[in-house]
Amino acid sequence: MKIYYKILLTLLPIGLLIVILMGLIHSHFTSKALTTLATTWLETRLSEAIHIAEQQDQNLKSYDLEGIPASVLKAQMDAEKQIRTIGVGKEGYIFAVDKQGHIVFNPNSSLVGYNVSDESWFQQLKEKRGTLTYRSDQGYNLAFYGYFEPWQWFIIATDPQKEFFGAAQRIKPLIWITGLLGAIAMAVALMILTHGLTRPLKSLTEGTRRVGEGDLKTNIEVTSKDELGQLARNFNRMTQRLQEITVLRNELEEAVRKRTAELMEMNKRLVKTERFAAAGQLATTVAHEINSPLQGIFSLVELMKDDVPQESESLEELESIETGLQSIKKTVKNLMDLNRPSGLEKSHINLNRVISNTFSLFNTQVAKVGGTIQLDLEPNMPYIFASSQLLSHVFINLINNSMEAMADDNVHETEKPRNLEIKIQTRCHRKRIVIKFQDNGPGIKEDVLPNLFVPFFTTKKKLGMGVGLTICSDSIHEHGGLLEAANAPHGGALFTITLPTDNTPLCDHDPPAQAEKKQQA
């Protein structure tokens, strides 16, 4: 059986018994109160009657007529007339009986002179004031009497009980109906109270079930400040604490995941560092083995060019040989850059000036192929602490890549070749300098973008080692910045360089050399 029905079966009989007892007690005290009220009322009527008799007797004494029977009779008759005018309800009246039991006066004139000395109520009369109850043809009557000594009369004010108990008798069914309605109201109140007591318990039971199923966001509405409300608040605090523990667990898992990703990234960088170290060793060997004979070949080609006529075909062949030698020299230089020591000399530089000076070197070369370079440099740029040599190397590498990509694209174009357009923009925002390098070339293939900065990854079909952009990325990284690559919305490649103005690193990870040092520490 549910708690709801247990409480009802226990409290409803008690409530009904209380209602019945209250009805009986109410009836008893109501009757008693009405009797007291009626007695007081009859006493006032009797006092008026005795006062009239006393006035008549006082008149007799004032004229010394109390010894004259005719005068006394006249005074008694006058007193009777005045007493008759005293109202005692609708059915009550005042009458007088002498000491021998004869009725002196009565509203019913047929009873005047009637001897009531044998009546039980007359025998209860005493020579003082008092109350009595007697039965007559009208039923039970309540009376209040007093003894008037000068005339030896018992003056009695009486009224049937049904008259002053009539209202109580008439409202008795109403009282019982009210009691019944009260019992029903009490039953309803008990049902509401019981429901109010069991509803929080039901909510707690449901909440416990939901928490057991894993719903830690369960929250029970607190509707009271009693023990059940306190229990609900404690339950809510428990679920909130469980949520906090769950959040902490998730944060811990996320921290472990991030740390794992960082370790994997660090491992990738260590592999990259090892590859650079191997490449550096190779570069040192190649530099020593190639640079010396290469310089000799360069000198020999220059001497041969001096001896060959200007319009000779041999001069063109020597220039082709010189171009090839320049490519070899550039390749060797790229290999040497792989082993370039970090921490080059830095100073406070004007970045706009470095960009202008660097790209001015290419104006003539770009113009020869019908291209243009557009500079959109924000004025009043703050100075940054950087190496102008490294940054110039980055810009040179980017413009060379654009020119090579455009040249390769024009070879495959069946329509009219496009002219190269390079746009460089600088902006300063929230202590960050953003440099955007955009061209109108073929762009970067989607499958190439993820590997663009991986060492030795290249899409060039000739003379490409795949280290140029890697070196650029590391150079920007050493300045605490980021180098990102994407395709421009309207075509072409878009490289974005972000540098701090206060030497606060923007990159998520340290450069390879610094990462290795931290791991060793």
Kindly give the interhelix angle for 512-520 and 227-307, rounded to the nearest 10 degrees.
120
pLDDT at 338: 52
* Tokens at 409, concatenated: 């694209």
* Cα gap 223→200, rounded to integer Å: 8
The dihedral sign for the CA sequence 80, 84, 85, 86: positive
The residue to which tokens 């004139």 are assigned: 109
Distances from the Cα of 284 to the Cα of 144, 290, 397, 506, angstroms:
142, 10, 22, 33
To the nearest 10°, the Cα dihedral for 100, 105, 107, 108?
60
To the nearest 10°, the Cα dihedral for 496, 500, 505, 510?
40
Phi and psi at residue 462, to the nearest 5°? -150, 150
Single out the residue of 481, 496, 505, 473 nearest to residue 276, CA to CA: 473
Q: Are 115 and 121 in contact (CB under 8 A)?
A: no
pTM of the complete model beyond 0.85: no
Q: What is the pLDDT of residues 432-475, one digit of tens each?
A: 899 999 988 888 888 888 777 776 666 665 545 566 788 888 88
pLDDT at 507: 45
pLDDT at 415: 55
* Tokens at 119, concatenated: 């009546």
Q: What is the pLDDT of residues 388-420, one digit of tens each?
A: 888 888 888 888 888 887 776 655 554 556 678
| Helix, strand counts (H, E) of the chain | 11, 12
Domains of the chain: residue spans and CATH? 3-179 (3.30.450.20), 344-521 (3.30.565.10)
Single out the residue of 404, 440, 407 nearest to residue 422, CA to CA: 440
* Cα gap 383→364, rounded to integer Å: 29
Phi and psi at residue 346, to the nearest 5°? -120, 155
Q: How many CA atoms lie within 13 A of 327 on its CB side?
A: 9
* Tokens at 93, concatenated: 């009246």
Strands 421-428 and 372-377: parallel
- For the chain, report the end-to-end CA distance as a whole number of angstroms: 72
* Cα gap 520→145, rounded to integer Å: 124
pLDDT at 197: 67
Given a cut of 70, the residues of the chain with pLDDT beneath it are 1-9, 11-12, 15, 19, 23, 26, 165-172, 174-176, 179, 194-202, 216, 220-229, 269-288, 292, 327, 330-344, 408-418, 455-467, 502-521
* Cα gap 205→209, rounded to integer Å: 6
* Cα gap 134→156, rounded to integer Å: 12
pLDDT at 417: 62
